[in-house]
């Protein structure tokens, strides 16, 4: 329980609210065995995510958007707004709360 609380605090640095929605900084590793949150990168201040999709023709971006939407709930919509061709991305999330997203990200990490 203490480790999950500690991770939630660190992940909070990568998740910020704006007037447009919630922005999440993400460090992605595409082509992984499964799609999952793997932790937090302190130096990049980003949530680390493994994606099963390969980085070809936007497949990894669509997989990341779908994964974040699944964390946020039914009304959640996610869009990669920065880093479309990079491993470092920023995702805009609408239709959920920051607290719900933080909890889901912390639970999804080992």
pTM of the model: 0.90
- On the question of pLDDT at 2 being above 60, the answer is no
| Share above pLDDT 90 across residues of the chain, in percent, rounded to a whole number | 76
Average pLDDT over residues 48-58: 94
- On the question of pLDDT at 81 being above 50, the answer is yes
57-66 burial: b if 16+ Cβ within 10 Å, else e: eeebbebbbe
Q: What are phi and psi of 83, to 5 degrees?
A: 85, 35
Average pLDDT over residues 52-71: 95
Q: Is 22 exposed, middle or buried (0-12, 13-18, 19+ CB in 10 A)?
A: buried
Domains of the chain: 2-108 (3.30.1200.10)
Question: Distance between CA 76 and CA 52 in Å, rounded?
Answer: 21
């Amino acid at each position: 329980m203490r480790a999950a609380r500690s991770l939630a605090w660190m992940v909070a640095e990568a998740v910020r609210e704006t007037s447009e929605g919630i922005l999440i900084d993400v460090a992605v590793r595409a082509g992984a065995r499964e799609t999952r949150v793997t932790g937090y990168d302190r130096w990049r201040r980003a949530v680390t995510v493994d994606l099963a999709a390969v980085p070809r023709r936007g497949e990894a971006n669509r997989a990341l958007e779908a994964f974040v939407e699944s964390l946020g709930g039914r009304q959640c919509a996610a869009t990669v707004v920065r880093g479309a061709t990079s491993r470092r991305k920023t995702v805009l999330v609408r239709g959920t709360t920051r607290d719900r997203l933080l909890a889901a990200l912390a639970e999804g990490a080992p």
